[in-house]
Amino acid sequence: MTIKYKNLWIFIFIGLIALLLVSSISNLLLYLKSVNINNYLSRRVFEDTSGFASSVLKTDQILNDSLHSKQITVGNANILGNEFLNQSNDIFDLVDIYVHNAMEEIPMGNIISYIPEEFSLYISRILNRPPQSFDIYAYNKDEIIKLNKEQLAKFTKMKDINDKLVEIVKKDVKGLKTYGIENNADFTPSNAIKNPLWKRLINDIVDCKNKIHWSPGFILN
């Protein structure tokens, strides 16, 4: 073999090695990108599921206390409205991840976030505050708001729906506490997206919404 052909084969060999290296690096970068996206989504799924489920327990307690005493403090009203707003955001986020991750639509899935959002809007009316402007540290947080007959009826409706959500989160979310999820190794920030728990939770809430025949204005009108 002449030196000319020998050098040609060397160049070809080096070229093939370079192509393999580029391909390997590209595949590695794609893999790392995929892992990072899954880790990010998994953390969001855990936080949204934990946030929604624990918030439902908190709103249940405040609604129960308010109906029992027929009054609510300004501070608790702000907390209640803010919790409902958080629930709406958490569910909206979970449905969005579900649709993009599972590549399938959820019939009426986006609607279920409107239920706690409407509850939040109603509480803002009672406080005479703009929507989404709750102040849980309000200077007059200890001031008492006496609930009239109409307001008590609305609180009863909210409590009835919230009770159903309490049943769902207690059934679907193992390890649920009022401050989050614990002692559930199968549902953590690192693996939550692989667990069917959160998808089952969404579908159960949709089923609940269909059974109560909720429609926009259910509380506000």
Residues 21, 17: Cα–Cα separation, whole Å:
6
Which tens digit of pLDDT belongs to each residue from 8-21?
A: 555 555 655 655 55
Q: What is the pLDDT of residue 24?
A: 46
Residues 133, 172: Cα–Cα separation, whole Å:
31
Residues 62, 151: Cα–Cα separation, whole Å:
14
Which tens digit of pLDDT belongs to each residue from 118-167?
A: 999 999 999 998 888 899 888 899 999 999 999 999 999 999 999 999 99
Provide, rounded to the nearest whole percent, the portion of the chain with pLDDT above 90.
48
Is 113 in contact with 91 (CB distance < 8 Å)? yes
Mean pLDDT within 162-188: 89
Which tens digit of pLDDT belongs to each residue from 52-97?
A: 999 999 999 999 999 999 999 999 999 999 999 999 999 999 988 8
Q: What tokens appear for 83 in the block?
A: 């919790």
Flag whether pLDDT at 32 surpasses 50: no
Q: What tokens appear for 43 in the block?
A: 């953390």
What are the backbone dihedrals phi and psi of residue 68, each rounded to the nearest 5 degrees, phi first?
Answer: -70, -40
